[in-house]
């Protein structure tokens, strides 16, 4: 005789049927506001049998790949629920423990739990306190920690982390590495939608882009958007970190266009800042044609902004190429010491014996980046007495020998020569503050430094200055070779305005030519201002005489004087008279308090006085002068795609890098371990732990019992 249980229908694919349109509509109404039906699922299903547990009401059932599945209404968890294969225990278990399930709020399981902790008061005694912990917030914080701290997904499965959570929050269920990866993607999608809403309210967007080849041998392109929001805050957002077919200009241009279209800002593109690679010229030409179709200023003529940091890099390398031998000798000496822990310890001993009071530590350089070479030389020269006490290897070539006395003297003078260019590069490479308004004065200061070094009594550095001046003239020797928006940005800085621009041009090109160029810049500024006025000012009729016939009362009213002033007011807002707004801005003087304000703060407080001009300022001041914002993302990409994590998909790489950038922009603290390493070593030297049985003294990071 068959049991009653065997007669019950099995909940399998064969025992379900599609929902009707009415039932589908009712299902959508029962979902939480943030829950949407997934695209691509053409059919939803209901069971023929009515013998079901109450926990099924918390799921959406569907068939995928011939398998019956159930998706939780409150989270993205999907469970297999075919009665012949899986049963219903997993479905019931998740419904009882789901953090988002409203029925679990009062159970003390999924939503909240009590946490007891010890708190030390002023008297030094330990008191017990309690607080409420939301487990959903804990899980979200865990996801943010994985993204911000660039941790591997398997971090949540490590025994140390599990033990820590068991002590701190014992009721928190640690998700698996697969679940945490899914949560990271979910957070990325959520933050992406928020950023899309932000872009809807922004005015114009300037971008920086660069390409990179990962350890996977995949070409990636990073695209970073820069814009000033309604609160006059500069925003920097990495909006794309995706694979690209090649490093050719047309491929880059098409990839940028596709990204801008996805974000809905293809008609808001203002400028593109790139390095001096020839492929970027082709890419910018492609994007110029795009903005001419979607709408732009000056027909996109000045959309291409060359990275000033890369130009400075080319200029400086032309100058220091003659000093390659002494630089190579110092570099080889630093590498020899840094490549062995025993040599590092010996180096530290000699530093102490020499009584050299310096917190600097030796650092490697990137031979293609002169600023890192400057840092290496500036650090190494402080320890030149120590290098002479070490047995450095003697190579056969000239540049492989140990640095001699004359080499150190050349390095000292070279550091003095390069210091001004190093500080200039750091100032223009910032991405958290506006740089376009200072670009012209920074270029002029470089020109002034080169002129002074040309008059130096040191023939070596005089020759360096001459070589660098030739490269300078190649890029900035003529005002027409520079992007005109750099000049306009200086004018829109309330601390400089047109007077500083004219003086700068006179210093660089002479009084006669400087004033002529100044007039050219001023004319373009007025022309650009007029384009903004035509684009953003609303149409207002000049006269009301072309309307319907007036009544006798209106004729007798005859307030000609009032109508005259109304017409004049409209003319000031719609015709050439509007130029007085720019004239007024140029001629207005700053007050004592305004002198202390930066450009963005000043425009945020005074922009209402110049309605059209402030629109220009929002677009032009946001232009970045270097591609550092995009290049720095490659350092993050290199940390994510290390030899142990080279299997990450391009989508996951983009999610992690973009979400990392967006979350850090909210002011979350970040710690650079390399920068604090010296402080940690000093702290370890000072720590002494006394105990009843033994004493531990930390000396040079070595524990001695």
Rounded alpha-carbon distances, angstroms, from residue 39 to 36, 181, 197, 259: 9, 21, 22, 22
Task: Tell me: do 68 and 166 sit in the same domain.
Answer: no
pLDDT in tens, 542-597: 334 444 444 545 445 556 556 666 655 555 554 444 447 888 898 888 777 878 88
- Looking at the DSSP bridge assignments, the partners of residue 129 are 117
Q: Which residues contact 427 (CB under 8 A, 6 or more apart)?
A: 435, 438, 442
Task: Tell me: do 98 and 12 sit in the same domain.
Answer: yes
Task: Tell me: do 321 and 427 sit in the same domain.
Answer: yes
Q: What is the pTM of this model?
A: 0.71
* Residue 458 within a domain: no
* Residue 609 within a domain: no
Q: Could you say which of 431, 455, 482 is where a domain stops?
A: 431
Q: Using 50, 70 and 90 to split pLDDT, how confident is the model at 269?
A: very high
pLDDT at site 41: 65
pLDDT at site 206: 93
**pLDDT above 90 for 343:** no
**pLDDT above 80 for 16:** no
**pLDDT above 70 for 10:** no
Q: Could you say which of 84, 104, 124 is where a domain stops?
A: 104
pLDDT in tens, 401-443: 888 888 888 888 888 888 888 888 888 887 788 889 888 888 8
Rounded alpha-carbon distances, angstroms, from residue 522 to 519, 531, 621, 692: 5, 14, 17, 80
Domain encompassing residue 340: 313-431
* Residue 157 within a domain: yes
Rounded Cα distance between 151 and 640, Å, is: 8
Q: Which residues contact 455 (CB under 8 A, 6 or more apart)?
A: 462
Task: Tell me: do 14 and 120 sit in the same domain.
Answer: no
* Residue 594 within a domain: no
**pLDDT above 60 for 5:** no
Q: Using 50, 70 and 90 to split pLDDT, how confident is the model at 309?
A: confident
**pLDDT above 90 for 472:** no
pLDDT at site 702: 32
Rounded Cα distance between 172 and 133, Å, is: 10
pLDDT in tens, 684-703: 455 444 444 444 333 333 33
Nearest of 370, 371, 490, 502 to residue 440 by alpha carbon: 490
What is the share, in percent, of the chain residues with pLDDT greater than 70?
76
* Residue 204 within a domain: no
Instruction: Compute φ and ψ for 539, nearest 5 degrees.
Output: -75, 130
pLDDT at site 128: 46
**pLDDT above 60 for 221:** yes
Task: Tell me: do 134 and 86 sit in the same domain.
Answer: no
State the average pLDDT over residues 487-501: 90
* Residue 224 within a domain: no
pLDDT at site 636: 54
The region of weakest confidence among 38-47, 220-229, 303-312, 392-401 is 38-47
Q: Using 50, 70 and 90 to split pLDDT, how confident is the model at 670?
A: very low
The region of weakest confidence among 79-93, 489-503, 592-606 is 79-93
State the average pLDDT over residues 221-248: 89
Task: Tell me: do 177 and 76 sit in the same domain.
Answer: no
The region of weakest confidence among 126-135, 255-264, 351-360, 490-499 is 126-135
Task: Tell me: do 69 and 116 sit in the same domain.
Answer: no
State the average pLDDT over residues 102-123: 53
Task: Tell me: do 409 and 321 sit in the same domain.
Answer: yes
Task: Tell me: do 49 and 127 sit in the same domain.
Answer: no
Identify which has the larger pLDDT, 136 or 616.
Answer: 616
Task: Tell me: do 149 and 82 sit in the same domain.
Answer: no
Q: Could you say which of 104, 123, 157 is where a domain stops?
A: 104
pLDDT in tens, 291-306: 888 777 888 889 999 8
Task: Tell me: do 407 and 370 sit in the same domain.
Answer: yes
DSSP state at residue 95: H
The region of weakest confidence among 38-42, 189-193, 515-519, 687-691 is 687-691
pLDDT at site 261: 92
State the average pLDDT over residues 35-54: 64
State the average pLDDT over residues 206-225: 83
* Burial call 15-33: b when 16+ CB within 10 Å, e when fewer: bbeebeeeeeeebeeeeee
* Residue 205 within a domain: no
* Residue 407 within a domain: yes
**pLDDT above 60 for 382:** yes
- Number of domains forming the structure of the chain: 4
Nearest of 27, 24, 71 to residue 43 by alpha carbon: 24
Task: Tell me: do 83 and 140 sit in the same domain.
Answer: no
Mean pLDDT of the chain: 77
């Amino acid at each position: 005789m068959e049991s009653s249980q065997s007669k019950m229908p099995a909940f399998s694919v064969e025992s379900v049927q599609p929902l009707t349109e009415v039932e589908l509509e009712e299902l959508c109404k029962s979902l939480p506001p943030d829950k949407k039906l997934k695209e691509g699922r053409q059919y939803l299903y209901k069971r023929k049998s009515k013998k079901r547990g109450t926990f099924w009401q918390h799921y959406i059932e569907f068939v995928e790949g011939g398998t019956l599945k159930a998706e939780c209404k409150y989270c993205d968890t999907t469970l297999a629920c075919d009665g012949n294969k899986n049963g219903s225990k997993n479905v019931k278990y998740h419904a009882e423990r789901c953090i988002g399930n409203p029925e679990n709020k009062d159970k003390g399981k999924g939503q909240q739990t009590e946490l007891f902790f010890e708190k030390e008061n002023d008297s030094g005694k330990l008191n017990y306190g309690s607080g409420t912990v939301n487990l959903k917030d804990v899980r979200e914080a865990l996801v943010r920690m994985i993204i911000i701290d660039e941790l591997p997904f398997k971090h949540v499965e490590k025994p140390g982390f599990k033990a820590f959570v068991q002590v701190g929050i014992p009721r928190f269920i640690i998700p698996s590495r697969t679940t945490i990866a899914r949560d990271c993607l979910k957070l990325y999608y959520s933050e992406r939608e928020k950023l899309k809403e932000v872009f809807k309210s922004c005015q114009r967007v300037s971008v920086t882009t660069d390409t990179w080849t990962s350890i996977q041998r995949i070409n990636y392109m990073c695209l970073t958007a820069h814009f000033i929001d309604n609160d006059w805050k500069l925003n920097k957002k990495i909006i794309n970190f995706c694979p690209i077919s090649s490093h050719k200009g047309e491929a880059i241009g098409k990839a940028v266009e596709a990204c801008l279209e996805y974000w809905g800002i293809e008609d808001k593109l203002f400028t593109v800042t790139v390095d001096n690679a020839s492929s970027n010229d082709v890419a910018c030409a492609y994007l110029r044609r795009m903005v001419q179709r979607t709408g732009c200023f000056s027909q996109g003529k000045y959309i291409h902004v060359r990275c000033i940091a890369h130009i400075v890099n080319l200029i400086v390398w032309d100058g220091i190429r003659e000093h390659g031998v002494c630089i190579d000798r110092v570099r080889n000496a630093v590498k020899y010491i840094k490549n062995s822990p025993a040599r590092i310890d010996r180096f530290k001993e000699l530093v102490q014996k020499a009584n050299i009071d310096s917190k600097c530590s030796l650092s490697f350089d990137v031979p293609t980046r002169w600023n890192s070479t400057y840092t290496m030389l500036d650090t190494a020269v402080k320890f030149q007495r120590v290098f002479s006490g070490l047995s450095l290897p003697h190579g056969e070539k000239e540049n492989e020998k140990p640095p001699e006395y004359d080499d150190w003297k050349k390095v000292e003078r070279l550091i003095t020569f390069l210091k001004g260019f190093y500080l200039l590069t750091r100032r223009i490479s910032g991405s958290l503050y506006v740089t376009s308004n200072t670009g012209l004065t920074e270029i002029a200061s470089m020109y002034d430094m080169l002129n002074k070094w040309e008059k130096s009594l040191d023939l070596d550095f005089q020759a360096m200055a001459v070589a660098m001046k030739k490269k300078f003239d190649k890029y900035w020797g003529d005002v027409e070779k520079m992007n005109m928006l750099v000049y306009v940005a200086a004018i829109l800085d309330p601390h400089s305005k047109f007077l500083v621009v004219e003086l700068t041009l006179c210093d660089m090109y002479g009084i006669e030519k400087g004033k002529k160029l100044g007039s050219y810049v001023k004319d373009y500024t007025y022309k650009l201002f007029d384009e903004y006025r035509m684009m953003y000012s609303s149409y207002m009729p000049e006269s009301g005489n072309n309307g319907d016939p007036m009544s006798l009362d209106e004729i007798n009213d005859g307030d000609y004087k009032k109508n005259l002033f109304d017409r004049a007011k409209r003319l000031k807002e719609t015709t050439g008279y509007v130029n007085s707004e720019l004239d007024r801005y140029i001629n207005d003087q700053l007050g004592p308090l305004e002198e202390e304000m930066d450009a963005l703060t000043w425009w945020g407080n005074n922009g209402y006085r110049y309605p059209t001009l402030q629109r220009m300022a929002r677009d032009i001041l946001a232009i970045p002068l270097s591609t550092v914002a995009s290049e720095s993302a490659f350092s993050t990409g290199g940390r994510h795609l290390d030899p142990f994590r080279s299997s990450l998909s391009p989508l996951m790489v983009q999610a992690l890098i973009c979400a990392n950038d967006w979350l850090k922009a909210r002011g979350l603290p970040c710690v650079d371990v390399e920068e604090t390493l010296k402080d940690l070593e000093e702290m370890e030297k000072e720590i002494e732990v006394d105990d009843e049985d033994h004493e531990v003294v930390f000396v040079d990071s070595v524990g001695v019992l």
